[in-house]
Structure formats: structure tokens, C-alpha cells
Structure 1
């Protein structure tokens, strides 16, 4: 069992992720090492999801742009990890140690929530709407 530092999955709607990005994130969460490292290539994630290279690249770029996924390395040798603030840890003390380390370095990378282009609808005024 992994402990996490935040309830990210409960706030996904605020991040305005595409369904494919949510699926990619789910695979990454499932396959992460303690501390958030994901030892998978995009092609391996795509093999699980079957979304195609272009969709996979767009989804991963969105996750990186939002700060949920951190990318290191260049070219075809990218390495991916979940942001330390949303990664899983083997124990509460491992989580606390990592957060102390991150705070000493200025804090984990921020998770960027986009601004609304327009004011969100008021509760109860417009009924239910499908979201794609």
C-alpha cells in the first residue's frame, strides 16, 4: 500500500485533463515506484491503453504542463515521475522525509490549475451537463 500526500484524484476535474490524460495518469499511478518514479516508456503505457502515439504524446504533454508528471532526460530517453506531492510512498515516514527534502529545496514543483475562461455555472441553476 502506498501513502500519498494529496487527494489529487478527487480534484481531477479542476485540472481540465482530457480523458486520455486521466487514463495515462491512472496507469502511471498504478505502476509507480515508491516516491513516484515510473519506469515505463510512453509506448509501454500506450500498449496498455491503445490510444495511439499522437494521443499519448498530447496526454503526456498535458500532464507535464500541469506539473502532475515530471519529465527528465532528452530526446527518446525521457524518464517520467509523478510530482512528489502526488506520488505514493511506502510509509508515512518516507512521505514526511521526502516532503522535508522537497521543502528544503524550495518545495515540490507546483501543480498548475488552469483559470476558468469564463465563470463556472452556479450550482442548481442550469441542471446537469455532460462533460467530454
Structure 2
């Protein structure tokens, strides 16, 4: 059983992910190794979900843009890993060691939370009212 940090759960609604991107992230979590390496190709994740290549590419690009998924390599040989800040670990000691390693090199890659495209609604004036 892998341990994960719970900070992602608090941000999930603010990350503005598509349903397909959430599904892709779920498959990646389920198939990740301790530390976040995902030994699946994009086409293999698509086989699990059955969403189609173009939807899969858009979802993966969104996850990479948000910093949740790290991509290495180029062309068709991309390798994927979960951001170390959200990856699962075999033990608390392993998680602490990885976070120490990340802090030694400037910290894990940032998770990008989009700004509001419009302001949140204003709070109504007059305080709270009881409803009978």
C-alpha cells in the first residue's frame, strides 16, 4: 500500500481538470511505483480508459501543464511520473527522504493552480438569515 500526501485533494476542484484528465490521473496513481514512476505508455493508459488518442493527448497535456505529471524524453518515447509532491511512497521514511532530496535541489516541481477567470461572487450584505 502506498502512502500519499493529501494536499492534492484540497486543490483538486481548483485545478480545473477535465473528467478525462481526472481519469488519467487515477489510472496513473493506480499503476505508479513508490516515488511516482509510471511504467505505462500513453497508449496503454488509453487502453484502460478507452477514450481515444486525441482525448488522451489533451488530458495528458493538461496534467503536464498543471505540474501533476512529469514527462521526460521526446517524441514517442515519453516516460511519465507523478510529481513527487503527490506520488505514493512505500513508507513515511521513504516519503521524508524523497522530500529532503527534492528540497536539496530547490523543491519538487510546482503544481500550477489556475487563477480565477472571474471573481468569486460577493458575499451578500446583511449577514446570515435563519430560514424557518
> Is the shorter-chain TM-score for this pair beyond 0.5, marking a shared fold?
yes
Tell me whether 65-74 or 8-17 shows the greater mean CA deviation.
Answer: 8-17
Alignment of 1:60-75 (within 5 A): 60-75=60-75
How far did 1:123 drift? 7.2
Tell me if the contact between 1:34 and 1:87 (Cα under 8 Å) persists in the aligned partners: yes
With normalisation by structure 2, the TM-score equals: 0.90
Point out 4+ residue stretches in structure 1 off by more than 4 angstroms: none
Cα deviations across residues 25-84 of structure 1 (Å, max 9, x unaligned)?
000011100000000011100001110000000000000000000000010000000000
Other-structure match for 1:35 = 35
Alignment of 1:39-50 (within 5 A): 39-50=39-50
Q: Return the alpha-carbon distance in structure 1 between the equivalents of residues 88 and 119 of structure 2.
A: 34
Q: Return the alpha-carbon distance in structure 1 between the equivalents of residues 29 and 43 of structure 2.
A: 16
Other-structure match for 1:19 = 19
Q: Return the alpha-carbon distance in structure 1 between the equivalents of residues 28 and 81 of structure 2.
A: 8
Q: Return the alpha-carbon distance in structure 1 between the equivalents of residues 47 and 121 of structure 2.
A: 38
Question: Which is higher, the Rg of structure 1 or of structure 2?
Answer: 2
Task: Say which SS state the counterpart of residue 116 (structure 2) adopts.
Answer: coil
Query: RMSD in angstroms over aligned alpha carbons?
Result: 1.3
Tell me if the contact between 1:6 and 1:85 (Cα under 8 Å) persists in the aligned partners: no
Other-structure match for 1:97 = 97
Q: Which blocks of at least 5 consecutive residues in structure 1 are unaligned?
A: 125-132
With normalisation by structure 1, the TM-score equals: 0.90
